[in-house]
Structure 1
Amino acid sequence: MYSRHTEIPTLDTRPGWQVEARYYNQAALALRRLGPEIRLPLPILKHLDLILQPDAWVVVDRVLNDMPVVAWTAFRAAHRHNLHRPVACELRLYHSMATMVTNRALACMADRLTVALAQEDQRIPRGQVIAFRSRSSA
């Protein structure tokens, strides 16, 4: 599991950050179905990858030996009752231009996870509906 985001000092930390529910829900579903750690290349951000883990989402720079750029951590989703409400978290910035990456990374994550989850759905065998026997008219 990737852990450099906990070892490297941050430039800025924003504790009151909100992640839109659609992003959080999709990432949580993908982590349940596809594995405990998912690494997604971000094609619109040429040399950046997004690493999804249950406790953190980290954008890393492949060229700089997976140096973290931005990380979403400390999700406050325990005992969550509203699936449509944003999830509070902590945003950690490791690069001076990290804020320019956040929205693009989340949008790209949503696109990539939609494709990955659709491919996973095709691999799952579908059940069959069995017709009830007709009742006798006795």
Structure 2
Amino acid sequence: MFKVIILILFLILIYLLLLKEKRIVRIMLILYFTLLSVLFLTGISKITGEYHLYQGPVPHEGFRALGDWVGTFSYFFIIPVFVVVAYVTFKFAKGIIQNNRVRIVVYLLWLMFLLAVSFISFFIFTLIFYGFAP
């Protein structure tokens, strides 16, 4: 249930981030993340049921299958979020900062910050959806 709540909060945050974008862009991205979330949670449910991950003993293949599933989907979630956040914030900065040189410096600093946050997000995503399993 915790995973479902996290994904619903994620979808709400994406929607709020895209409020000022065109309606078709907002709908397409929300649809992408919604379908991705449903597929992701369905796969987790199937893997946990097939390998009895919530009941012991668990074969090593079960942890590997779940780890591979979560690892693959972390890219499908985090990279598009990185692109969307970069696009929205760069567009916002373009409206505020008029000087091109200052804007380029701000873009580069913000891009480095977003890359660091994205890198950390992979670990957080794995911790939430995979856990501390071997």
TM exceeding 0.5 = no
As a proportion of its length, which structure holds more helix?
2
TM (normalized to structure 2)?
0.32
TM (normalized to structure 1)?
0.31
